[in-house]
Structure formats: structure tokens, C-alpha cells
Amino acid sequence: MSGPDLNSQDQPEISGSAAAALPPEGRPVLDGSSIEFRDASVTYKGGVHAMRSLNLTIEPGEFVVIVGLSGAGKSTLLRAVNGLVRLTAGSVTVGSTQIPSGSGGTRELRKVRSRVGMIFQDYRLIQRISVIENVLLGRLSQVPTWRTMAGLWPQRDKAIAYEALQRVGIEEKAWVRASNLSGGQQQRVGIARALAQQPAIILADEPVASLDPVTSRQVMEDLVRINRELGITTLVNLHFLDLAKEYGERIIGLQAGELVFDGSADTVTDDDFHRIYGRAPNQDDVLEAPPVALS
């Protein structure tokens, strides 16, 4: 019996170059912007293994795209970073803080969350109030609760919120009701809300899945630009392979809760996608169908 060999067979096969995990040059390095998973597992009630002994290090300022079929554990991975989903084994560390497991550590967790912005597929804006009030929610953790309850936001925080709106280019919509915006505009408000947190990390959970191709590109470009300018570590879940290749620097592939690919976007091949998806990529896996010849 060859013990060590057996052991290595249990490990998911990982290809691609690990050298992708280097802090990208020219970007500011933010405190608390690294993420480290150690033997991290998540088993949901009912026995679904959404994450299996994941080992993963994300350096400050990286732009990482996570791909995989739905149910592969992409959302779980993102939510483990800000503790919306707690690990059932192993650890995840953000900066120097380990995310508490179990249900405790509320205060610690809020501290981590205050520096981790999140963007959702369905935007999750309060539809009945104005855009700027939605963006101000990004300041919740920095403003005393009695003020947020009364809606008495300090001037300084209003300025930060307005700046965040300017950064995504929709400051003229500040006083418009969120429900009156298009999907693309709402997603930008979602990005602004995350930016208003002055985060070290941004988690984007399928941010373009509800958008048309043109708007999708604009939103992805916003995310890339913010990552370059501010050095915010950015994790994006995507299910479109072409977008992943186009915008990701580092691509992580998940399958049934396991890491099956980790490498730079330049090196990823169709074979890699084949392995991540367990089948050949098809039309549904790309944002835009290949150009059709018009006769």
C-alpha cells in the first residue's frame, strides 16, 4: 500500500499556474484585503456539501473570477468570506481576522463585514427610497445606530456616498427612487453601496446575470476599473465563460464544492472549462453567441 499516493488521489486535481496568486503591481495594497481558506468545508442541513476542504489564498488587490455550474458552490464561497454562510469545518481568514464559525462572534463579524462590500445578482436595493439613501446603507457600520435609525446621516458620510455614486457615473440619479432605475443603473447603485463601505474586498455574486450583454460589459468594466484604481480585492461569480476569460485575471473553477481549477485567465483552455463543467461548453455558457454571417 502506498499511503502518500492514496492521499494525493483524494485531492482535487488542480491545474493552471499557482503563480497567479501574486499581488498585482501598481495597485494600492489595502489592509485586510487578503483571503485565506484552510481546509474549509460547508455542509448544509440535509447533507449537501457546498464546499469540500477548500484551500485557497487570495492576495490583496487580486481580481478573481469564480466559475462553475449552478450549485457548484460559488455563492457559498463568497458568503463564507463575510460570514453570511458559516464553515462547518476548517477556517477562512480575512486580513488578520478569522471568521467565527458557529453562530457567535457577531461583533467581530460586523467588523469584517464593514470592510467587505457585497453586490448581488438581484441588486437588493430598497425600491421605495431614493438612490442616495440606498448608497448610504453602505455607511451603516460607521454611523451610530441612533443616527441610522432616524436617518440622520452625518455630512461626511453623505459625501462618501455621493462620491461612490460619482465613481459609477450615476450621481445625477441621487434623488431618484430606486424603483425608477433600469437594471443596469440599479446594479451600479449596488456597486456604489458596496463602495460607500470603503471596502478592502468586494464580493460580487453573479452581478450581471440579470443584465443584457451591453450592460453586462459596462458593469464588469466598472468592477475592473474600481479594482485597478482602488486596489480592492474583487471576487466575482460568473457563469459566462467568455466574460470570465475577458475580465478575470485569475480564474477559479468549482465543481460540486471542490476546487478543480486555479490559474490565470490567459492560460485557461476549453479543456479546462470542460473539466469545470463536466461537459463541453455550449452556447448557454457564453454571454454572446458567436457572430452569425448575415447574407
Where along the sequence are the contacts to another protein (CB under 8 A)? 82, 84, 110-111, 113-114, 116-118, 120, 122, 124-129, 137-138, 140-141, 145, 148-149, 193-194, 197
Give CA–CA dist 31/104, Å, rounded.
24
Q: Compare residues 177 and 275 and give the one whose CB is closer to another protein.
A: 177
Closest CA to 233 of 64, 51, 73, 75: 64
Q: How far is the CB of 154 from another protein (least distance, A)?
A: 15
Residue reference for cell 488587490: 61
Q: How far is the CB of 264 from another protein (least distance, A)?
A: 29
Give CA–CA dist 90/39, Å, rounded.
5
Q: Compare residues 114 and 255 and give the one whose CB is closer to another protein.
A: 114
Q: Compare residues 140 and 286 and give the one whose CB is closer to another protein.
A: 140
Q: Compare residues 20 and 195 and give the one whose CB is closer to another protein.
A: 195
Cα pseudo-dihedral 282, 202, 40, 96, rounded to 10? 160
CA atoms within 13 A on the CB side of 120: 6
Q: How far is the CB of 143 from another protein (least distance, A)?
A: 9
Give CA–CA dist 237/66, Å, rounded.
5
Q: Compare residues 32 and 263 and give the one whose CB is closer to another protein.
A: 32
Q: How far is the CB of 252 from another protein (least distance, A)?
A: 21
Q: How far is the CB of 124 from another protein (least distance, A)?
A: 4
Write the Ramachandran bin of 100: left for phi over 0, alpha for psi from -120 to 50, otherwise beta. beta
